[in-house]
């Protein structure tokens, strides 16, 4: 069975590699803006098997006559239904129908879920609403960020795809009554609310790293992106009740500690400024102190 892959993500490499090993790979359709991925895929797949595509091309992908299955794996464009009996499937990193939308993994991490899902469904006229073929959950590791989880799911989906390819492609209709759609996160969704508990802020930080270039906040009018952070035990620094959320409560060799909601404290481990990436200890050495309040 010949399979074509439509992708814009290097997380599809394990699947492509497996299909190549089984002599099942036909073509790889790559979204044109992803030039870095194009270079990486070019080291794995023969140049004649790679097809660069635009959003317009996606409306009518021209698969070869040998192709029997087309799989969308991290492809940023909506694919229209195919003719000539080609099965068109989509790999979705979220539970269906509870988490439809373009980036379910972000919302899984931001909401502090313990399980991440890989769902494979048939492509239909309506976005993420085709018949469900297979869905499996995987435990999220403590501190796992978007990049790590996305990459891990890219490997875990391979046996799922192989299972489907050996099946009769009969799916189960999704329960429309339980359907939920989550839009692509806005700048407001990516911004830290210091009134929240430190644990919830860590969830956002993990959801934004590296996909959205860190969780956003400002310091003295300067944009700061937080890439890694962890909560500090409640009793680590006493007497913080009089401080406002966002205010620095400690800055030194251990890092930069910031007051959050519910009197919780967050340690900023890695952040980015216009000048580069810095550890919390480096921020403290640069002059960040208790007079600073993040907004």
* pLDDT tens-digit map of 165-192: 999 999 999 998 899 999 999 999 999 9
Q: Looking at residues 57-68, what average pLDDT do you find?
A: 91
Cα 97 to Cα 128: distance, rounded to the nearest angstrom: 8
* pLDDT tens-digit map of 231-278: 998 767 777 778 999 999 999 999 999 999 999 999 999 999 999 999
Whether 83 has a pLDDT exceeding 80, the answer reads: no
Structure tokens at 148: 């790590």
Nearest partner of 25 among 39, 6, 53, judged by Cα: 6
Q: Tell me the pLDDT of the chain averaged across its residues.
A: 94
* Pick from 39-53, 84-98, 123-137: least confident: 39-53
Cα 173 to Cα 265: distance, rounded to the nearest angstrom: 45
In the chain the domains, ranked by start, together with CATH numbers, are 2-178 (3.40.50.170), 187-285 (3.10.25.10)
Beta carbons within 8 Å of 14's beta carbon, 6+ residues apart? 154, 155, 157, 158
* pLDDT tens-digit map of 10-41: 899 999 999 999 999 999 999 876 667 778 88
Q: Looking at residues 117-140, what average pLDDT do you find?
A: 96
Q: Looking at residues 208-227, what average pLDDT do you find?
A: 97
């Amino acid at each position: 069975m010949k399979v074509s892959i439509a992708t814009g993500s290097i997380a599809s490499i394990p699947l492509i590699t497996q299909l190549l090993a089984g002599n099942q790979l036909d073509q790889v359709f790559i979204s044109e803006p992803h030039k870095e991925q194009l270079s990486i895929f070019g080291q794995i797949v023969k140049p004649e098997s790679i097809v660069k595509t635009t959003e317009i091309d996606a409306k009518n992908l021209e698969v070869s006559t040998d192709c029997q299955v087309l799989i969308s794996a991290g492809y940023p464009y909506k694919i229209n239904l195919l003719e000539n009996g080609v099965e068109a499937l989509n790999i979705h990193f979220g539970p269906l129908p509870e988490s439809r939308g373009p980036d379910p993994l972000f919302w899984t991490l931001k909401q502090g879920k313990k399980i991440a899902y890989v769902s494979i469904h048939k492509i239909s006229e309506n976005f993420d609403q085709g018949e469900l073929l297979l869905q499996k959950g995987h435990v999220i590791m403590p501190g796992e960020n978007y990049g790590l989880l996305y990459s891990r799911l890219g490997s875990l989906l391979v046996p799922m795809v192989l299972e489907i390819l050996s099946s009769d492609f009969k799916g189960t209709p999704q329960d429309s009554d339980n359907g939920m759609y989550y839009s692509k996160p806005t700048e407001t969704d990516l911004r830290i609310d210091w009134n929240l508990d430190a644990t919830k802020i860590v969830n956002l930080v993990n959801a934004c790293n590296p996909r959205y270039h860190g969780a956003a906040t400002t310091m003295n009018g300067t944009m700061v992106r937080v890439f890694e952070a962890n909560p500090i035990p409640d009793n680590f620094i006493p007497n913080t009740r009089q401080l406002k959320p966002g205010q620095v409560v400690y800055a030194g060799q251990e890092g930069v500690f910031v007051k959050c909601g519910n009197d919780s404290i967050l340690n900023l481990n890695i952040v980015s400024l216009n000048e580069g990436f810095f550890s919390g200890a480096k921020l403290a050495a640069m002059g960040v102190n208790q007079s600073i309040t993040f907004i």
